[in-house]
Amino acid sequence: MGFLTITWPYLFILRPKNLALIGFTMTVLQYGVIHRITKGAPVLDDYGFILFVLTTLLIAASGNLVNDIFDRNTDKINKPEKTYIPHIISLKQAWIYYLVLVFIGFVLALYIGFSTGHLADIWIYPVAVSGLYFYAKQFKSSILIGNMIVSAFISLVWGILFYVEFSSQNVSVIQQTHHQIILYTLCIPYMLFAFLINMIREMVKDMLDIEGDKKTGVQTFPIIYGIKNTKNVISLTTLMLVSGIIFWLFTSKMTEGFENRFFYLIFIILPLILVLTKTNTAVIKKEFQFLSSVLKLIMVFALIGMILITKNGNLI
């Protein structure tokens, strides 16, 4: 057996595509948004930012790995072609791999805390790791709680860089006021957006995985309340999200301008309306996979939208 044959399962079990999306999101936020807000002088320099992204990716990777450890029986039914534990990676090897990822991430988090003066915020790392661990072990099979934990983590990815930047004490009163405006009119709305759209996607994935979840005793919302009620909740949440975006677009000074509003209409609101209509007609796995992909694509468009706002919008 070649080196790649032996090692590739250890890479793919971490969901490299999802990790790449997280890294891409944080990079765009740092250099496309925060650098503009801070006039090119953010708290995290390039080296610190790379370590910060790596730490976040290790949290996500360890969460993906421990999820596969606890989900190994369900995954045999739902996605047998993507199941690596235990027939390719033994259960013991998987746990050792998980502990190594968590340890390396914690060391990096300590280093970043010392170097940036944010050591008091080191609690974020164990909370995030523990949250994803207990999600995989216990809360994934709890109605909505597991979905909320995952959605909160994704929301944290969108907000953590702003937190590091805006919690710095080495800024003037004018800068603090400017940061507060950005926080309440851009960061928090986007974190709410990320939370809600991922709640929708998690419920779509629950419908996609319903066959395997039933056979392994996992109690998700679609299993307890049925597909029809799940679709109703998704539709209601999507309508709330669309309404919130429209309200934000036409009340925030940051989104003023035809270009900003046109972009959100075409690339955010219309795809969400597509999700709304397709959710009600989706029946087979392929249709639910399509919905999940559209929701992920909307997140990418939302990232581009944030760049447009910081470029064209009123940030003062």
3-state SS string for the chain: CCHHHHHHHHHHCCCHHHHHHHHHHHHHHHHHHHHHHCCCCCCCCHHHHHHHHHHHHHHHHHHHHHHHHHCHHHHHHHCHHHCCCCCCCCHHHHHHHHHHHHHHHHHHHHHHHHHHCCHHHHHHHHHHHHHHHHHHHCHHHCCCHHHHHHHHHHHHHHHHHHHHHHCCCCCCHHHHHHHHHHHHHHHHHHHHHHHHHHHHHHHHHHHHCHHHHHHHCCCCHHHHHHHHHHHHHHHHHHHHHHHHHHHHHHHCHHHCCHHHHHHHHHHHHHHHHHHHHHHHHCCCHHHHHHHHHHHHHHHHHHHHHHHHHHHHCCCC
pLDDT score at 19: 93
pLDDT score at 74: 76
pLDDT score at 37: 78
Residue ranges, the chain, pLDDT below 70:
1-6, 80-81, 141, 168-180, 312-316
Supply the Cα-derived Rg of the chain in whole angstroms. Answer: 20
Q: How far apart are CA 145 and CA 155, in angstroms?
A: 15
Domain 1-170, architecture per CATH: Orthogonal Bundle (1.10)
Report the length, in residues, of the chain: 316
Domain range summary for the chain, segments of one domain joined by +: 1-170, 171-316
pLDDT score at 177: 60
pLDDT score at 135: 87
pLDDT score at 6: 63
Task: Quick: pLDDT tens for 141-156.
Answer: 677 888 888 899 889 8
pLDDT score at 168: 60
pLDDT score at 172: 47
pLDDT score at 95: 94
Q: How far apart are CA 184 and CA 188, in angstroms?
A: 6
CA atoms within 13 A on the CB side of 135: 25
